[in-house]
Amino acid sequence: MPVAAGGAIQVVDATVSRQRVLATPATRRLARQLGVELGRVPPTGPHGRVTTADVQSYQSNGDAGAQAPAPAPAPQHAQLPVPAPITIPHSGDEERIPLRGVRRRIAESMARSKRTAAHFTYVEEIDMTELVAVRERARARAAERGIKLNYLPFIVKACVSGLKKWPQLNASLDETTQEIVQKRYYHVGIAAQGPQGLAVSVVRDADKRSIFDLSKEIERLGEAVRTGTATRDELTGSTFTISSLGKLGGVLATPIINFPEVAIVGVHKIEERPAVRNGQIVARHLMNLSISVDHRIADGWDGAMFLQDVKSLLEDPTTMFMEMV
Rg (CA), the chain: 25
- Residue 69 above 60 pLDDT? no
- The catalytic residue among 47, 119, 285, 295 is 295
Model confidence at 59, in pLDDT bands (50, 70, 90)?
confident
Spatial separation of the C-alpha atoms in residues 222 and 137, rounded to whole Å: 24
For the chain, the average pLDDT equals 85
Segment 223-248 shows an average pLDDT of: 90
CA-nearest of 290, 313, 291, 17 to 170 is 291
Model confidence at 252, in pLDDT bands (50, 70, 90)?
confident
Query: pTM of the predicted model, to two decimals?
Result: 0.74
Spatial separation of the C-alpha atoms in residues 157 and 100, rounded to whole Å: 36
- Residue 294 above 90 pLDDT? yes
CB 258 within 8 A of CB 245: no
Mean pLDDT is lowest, of 10-19, 45-54, 74-83, 242-251, for 10-19
Q: Is the dihedral of CA 275, 276, 282, 284 positive or negative?
A: negative
The shares of helix, strand and coil residues in the chain, as percent rounded to the nearest 5, are 40, 25, 40
Spatial separation of the C-alpha atoms in residues 240 and 153, rounded to whole Å: 14
Q: What integer pLDDT is reported at residue 9 of this predicted model?
A: 65
Q: Which residues contact 209 (CB under 8 A, 6 or more apart)?
A: 203, 217
pLDDT tens-digit series, residues 133-146: 999 999 999 999 99
List the beta bridge partners of residue 22.
Answer: 49
pLDDT tens-digit series, residues 73-129: 545 545 556 678 888 888 888 888 888 888 888 888 888 899 999 999 999 999 999
Model confidence at 221, in pLDDT bands (50, 70, 90)?
very high
CB 46 within 8 A of CB 54: no
Per the annotation, the verdict on 47 as an active-site residue is: no
Spatial separation of the C-alpha atoms in residues 81 and 84, rounded to whole Å: 9
